[in-house]
Structure 1
């Protein structure tokens, strides 16, 4: 098949969240998410997603103009297969990240389109064999009230997750402990308990907090992003001090930053996200050293496809976010696992009703 990339369509969605989500550093009450559809010369399309947490996305015409100027000229008349396997070394002014994670949307859409062109589910195209991947429940609950936290995690137990993650990092340690108690009251003591501080602590404070959680009766399976992302020495200190708690890090780091964690044995689990091509690379390095990986939140749980194919994958995060409202058929959760569709590509398509009611702007890039 030699059909090539020709044009794109941009959608920008704007609607309220069904709950306030956030962590020790940020909160969000609105879904500002965009969709990128890439079309080849046969009319087949791939779909990817970009987003903003802190402010509304600009009009789709702005994103489309940006895409037309900086991205499409390098992609037009190229195959998606060639683009996802292309190696390049940006130099000088070319080293500029695209806003709103648009680069991840491009990567997702190219992989989706490439898998569709060979009529394979994306997880199989990645090399995976399992159409179910283990997930943990995550409330992204830092700014929710106590009652909202209890109600959310109680409702989440219907999915039979084997682990649950709680946002911590409050200045008052007793508030963190109270949150752990609320979640344990809701889900029971059998599931694993993870915490995520979103870089709220210093290394010594992180060690003190985890020990305090344990002394209060809450064994912690992993602590995620406890300290500043580039503090490799601090992560190593934590890893040595907390023998029974995994250190999960890397969410905020690029490929080079994640590689530094691997090279320095600075984390027990490397957190990878929605960049499929980058995830492949870092997972290969992790597999070489027997280091586990986890998939953090990815739009519509797309990361579950790559989780199926990667060795050493522990968990994929599922936060039951209502950004799923923009797709026709969200992934199903079955007995604590995300079920991947056995249809070509990643199996997600935009919901026509959502396009009509929740997408105030649409634009074409040609």
Structure 2
């Protein structure tokens, strides 16, 4: 802001425009997930990510199969396996390499583009083995890194060739300047850099500017656009902002506003301010 230039330009100005993939979150049943996929197509998205975590893996796989049957090759599909980290209420262990490999074969049959967090983020040997196996047997990529924080962890992931797609979040790890060098190195090594962006509009803008400035569309392919109404709407995601972010035809233009281009909704923030926080 002080310089009067957008962050993406200050990082190298690779691109002001990024292609987005629709990132769903709710574990919907088959008919509702198919309807969601059609809605994303109608909104102009060319790619969509589906999150696993239904009562059984067969339920998850049935959703992928049904969506693929419904949309054909009009929509690139990604799958978030959610094995990379655990919340306090999680009671099951992350998948083993054997389990992940078996599920990967099913996903490859449905032409899934990437398999995200198929193993715990610290299972470097398992991730490297799975990535190597998939490289030999098909074209599906291994993605991960959303909760990876420390530089040494990313160094291990790079040196051991664990991932095809790197997904750090500058809100959680190293900030914009810290991840800028990682983004460039990832792409130099022939891999994809496309950050995790779940959070509010401020964090999303930070990750968008990071990506646009360092690697652009060619280095990211798609960037995550959290969107899964009615539970997760643009209004809910971008509530701190005076103007919510907008996508057109599956792309976003960052423009030339200085800094991150953020204008806060000061009145809303004043109305909703709290001096306490409760985690449920």
Task: Give the equivalent residue in structure 2 for 1:307.
Answer: 211
CA deviations on 1:311-334 (whole Å, 9 max, x unpaired) are 322221001242212211122201
Change in 2 beyond 3 A, CA 1:182/1:327:
farther
Secondary structure at the aligned position of 1:247 is classed as strand
Q: Is the 8 A contact 2:211 2:220 kept in 1?
A: yes
Change in 2 beyond 3 A, CA 1:182/1:248:
same
Give 1:237 shift. Answer: 1.1
Secondary structure at the aligned position of 1:135 is classed as strand
> Highest Rg: 1 or 2?
1
Task: Give the equivalent residue in structure 1 for 2:225.
Answer: 318
- Equivalent position to 2:77, from 188, 193, 204: 193
Secondary structure at the aligned position of 1:332 is classed as coil
Change in 2 beyond 3 A, CA 1:236/1:169:
farther
- Equivalent position to 1:210, from 76, 89, 104: 104
Q: Is the 8 A contact 2:7 2:213 kept in 1?
A: no
What is the distance in 2 between the residues matched to 1:118 and 1:192?
39
Change in 2 beyond 3 A, CA 1:269/1:186:
same
Name the structure with the higher strand share.
Answer: 1
CA deviations on 1:141-195 (whole Å, 9 max, x unpaired) are 23x4545534433332233122111112546232012221344466553221110
Change in 2 beyond 3 A, CA 1:150/1:356:
farther
Task: Give the equivalent residue in structure 2 for 1:140.
Answer: 25
Q: Does 1:181 align with 2:84?
A: no
Q: Is the 8 A contact 1:197 1:224 kept in 2?
A: yes
Count residues with an aligned counterpart: 244
- Matches of residues 353-364 of structure 1 in structure 2 within 5 Å? 353-361=267-275
CA deviations on 1:270-298 (whole Å, 9 max, x unpaired) are 11212312211312332342222111115
Q: Is the 8 A contact 1:223 1:247 kept in 2?
A: yes
Task: Give the equivalent residue in structure 2 for 1:221.
Answer: 113
- Matches of residues 1-366 of structure 1 in structure 2 within 5 Å? 116-142=1-27, 144-146=28-30, 148-170=32-54, 172-184=56-68, 187-199=71-83, 200-215=94-109, 218-243=110-135, 244-254=139-149, 255-274=151-170, 275-298=175-198, 299-300=200-201, 301-302=204-205, 303-311=207-215, 312-320=219-227, 321=232, 322-361=236-275
TM-score for both structures, normalised by structure 2: 0.79
What is the distance in 2 between the residues matched to 1:345 and 1:201?
41
Q: Is the 8 A contact 1:169 1:201 kept in 2?
A: no
CA deviations on 1:241-282 (whole Å, 9 max, x unpaired) are 213110112222122211211111111111121231221131
TM-score for both structures, normalised by structure 1: 0.61
Structure with more relative contact order (C-alpha pairs < 8 Å, separation 6 or more): 2
Give 1:135 shift. Answer: 1.0
Secondary structure at the aligned position of 2:194 is classed as strand
Q: Is the 8 A contact 2:21 2:225 kept in 1?
A: yes
Specify every segment of 5 or more residues in structure 1 that has no aligned partner in the other structure, as ranges.
1-115
